[in-house]
Amino acid sequence: MEFGKFKSTEALNQTYNRIRGLGLEENICELDTYGFTVVPPDKVADKAFFERIRSTVLRLCTERTGIEFDLDQNGAFGEYKAQPQSDGQFLLFYLLMADRVFEEWILNPTLYALIDYLMRGQQQLSSLTSFVKWKGDRDSLGLHSDSPPDRDGHLPACSDVANAAYCLTDYTLDNGAIAMVPGSHLYCRQPQPGEAESRAVPVEAEAGSLIAWHGNIWHGAFPKKTDGLRLNVTSYHCHRRLKTQEAYQWRVTQEMLNRNPPEFARLVGADDHMGWDENGPDYARGVRYMSDDVKKRFAAARAKQAKKAA
Ligand SMILES: O=C(O)CCC(=O)C(=O)O
Ligand SMILES: [Fe+2]
């Protein structure tokens, strides 16, 4: 029996084969069972890429705050005003538009494969941010699901959003690791305030690891008790039918699209005709960056129609 080639799952075969090719089967099992996984650095990116993206995030910290940032020193807000800010934490936003290294990152094969699996190929990038943390107090773990709930707080069983943090420093309990409630993605609802805190576990991972999670899982963070920074690149994706947090669809430049493969264009909604003006929809956007398997399915449908008409 050979898996990966079934005719009825043409769209999924590629995802399946990608997962197997990268040796991520165990991670998929963890995602399905527990709602999160940790991929070790050697399956994510090489050291040179890691160093490049980390120094870029540090440079942006310095540029946006006006204060020199160093991994071993605690941070400060300086001139930086973007919200939310809390004790010992801010977020850097809109990283995709800040440096080309982030264009490379969203196409990273391991990140792409895990998100593609969770979102069944329907993902777009919602935001690319960095949580910048240093020593600070928290009065709770701040448990939440990343998926937007319906009116009554219910979540769909599928992963409507999926998230992944590329750890740029070690995550340990004392360093303010992300907190996960294993298996809570199956509850299909947001937690009540304060609920399940005692069941949350610290996700300990060395710098260079990728922590990925199902959109429904209850997660937050432990307080950072040590000196120095905790840094990441948080790669938040949502289903194509949802609004993105950051504005890419009409803002990503043609130059950015030209220098990247069609997967990039689809991730930033450059193939999406929604949001038109008085000129109406431009359906050509969808065709321009269509994936090979969708092209194949379209061609097969057209051929069938032509045969019928003949
Ligand atoms: O690492 C953290 O502080 C948790 C961040 C979080 O909730 C998220 O990235 O969705
Ligand atoms: Fe979150």
DSSP secondary structure letter of residue 80: -
Instruction: Residue 272: give its domain's CATH number.
Output: 2.60.120.620
CA distance 49 to 152: 43
Q: How many domains does the chain contain in total?
A: 1
Does the residue 1 lie in any domain? no
pLDDT at 297 exceeding the cut of 90: no
Find the domain containing 34 and state its range: 7-309
Question: For residue 18, which amino acid is it?
Answer: R
- Residue 73: the pLDDT is 97
Pocket probe for ligand 1: among 172, 234, 236, the residue whose CB has the most ligand atoms within 8 Å is 234
Looking at all shown ligands, the one closest to residue 131's CA atom is 1
Tens digit of pLDDT for each residue in 229-250? 999 999 999 999 999 999 999 9
Nearest-CA neighbor of 142 among 167, 183, 118, 176?
A: 176
Q: Is residue 2 part of a domain?
A: no
Q: Do 111 and 254 form a contact (C-beta atoms < 8 A)?
A: no
* Structure-token match 């165990």, residue found: 26
Contact criterion met (CB below 8 Å) for 248 and 152? no
For residues 22-48, give the mean pLDDT. Answer: 98
To test ligand 1's pocket by mutation, which of 38, 180, 219 has the most ligand atoms within 8 angstroms of CB? 219
Nearest residue (by CA) to ligand 1, atom 6, is 220
Residue type present at position 243: K
C-beta of 221 in contact with ligand 1 (< 6 A): yes
Q: Round the CA-based radius of gyration of the chain to a whole number and report it.
A: 20
- Give the pLDDT of residue 104: 98
289 Cα: distance to centroid of ligand 1 (angstroms):
31
For ligand 2, the distance from its centroid to the CA atom of residue 31, given in whole angstroms, is 16
Which tokens in the block code for residue 306? 């032509």
131 lines ligand 1 (CB under 6 A): yes
State the alpha helices, DSSP H only, in 5-108.
10-22, 25-34, 47-65, 100-106
Query: What is the H or E stretch that residue 8 is in?
Result: none
Ligand 1 and 163: CB distance under 6 A? yes
Residue 304, CB half-sphere, CA atoms under 13 Å: how many?
Answer: 6
Residue nearest ligand 1's atom 3 by CA: 221
Q: How many Å lie between the centroid of ligand 2 and the Cα of residue 193?
A: 14
pTM, entire model: 0.95
pLDDT digits (tens, 9 = 90+) for 37-96: 999 999 999 999 999 999 999 999 999 999 999 999 999 999 999 999 999 999 999 999
Q: List pLDDT tens digits, range 107-152.
A: 999 999 999 999 999 999 999 999 999 999 888 999 999 999 998 8
Phi, then psi, of 121 in degrees rounded to 5: 80, 5
Look at residue 310 and tell me whether its pLDDT is greater than 90: no
**Residue pair 138/87 in contact by the 8 Å Cβ criterion:** yes
What is each CA distance from 74 to 71, 94, 132, 175, 202, in whole angstroms? 8, 23, 10, 12, 21
Strand locations in the chain, DSSP E? 36-39, 89-92, 123-133, 161-167, 178-180, 201-202, 210-214, 219-221, 232-239
Looking at every residue in the chain, the average pLDDT score rounds to 96
Give the position, in ligand 1's atom list, of the atom nearest the Cα of 144. 7
Q: How far apart are CA 212 and CA 202, in angstroms?
A: 14
The residues, ordered by sequence, that sit 6+ positions from 309 with a Cβ below 8 Å of its Cβ are none
Atom of ligand 1 nearest to the CA of 178: 1
Structure tokens at 11: 């769209």
Closest CA to 105 of 128, 80, 84: 128
Q: Is the CB of 146 inside a 6 Å radius of any atom of ligand 1? A: yes
Q: Tell me the sheet residues that pair with 171.
A: 205
pLDDT in tens, 167-181: 999 999 999 999 999
Instruction: Report pLDDT digits (tens) over 153-205.
Output: 899 988 899 999 999 999 999 999 999 999 999 999 999 999 999 999 999 99
Residues recorded for the chain:
310
Q: What is the pLDDT of residues 247-279, one digit of tens each?
A: 999 999 999 999 999 999 999 999 999 999 999
Atom of ligand 1 nearest to the CA of 219: 7
Confidence of residue 300 (pLDDT cuts 50, 70, 90): confident
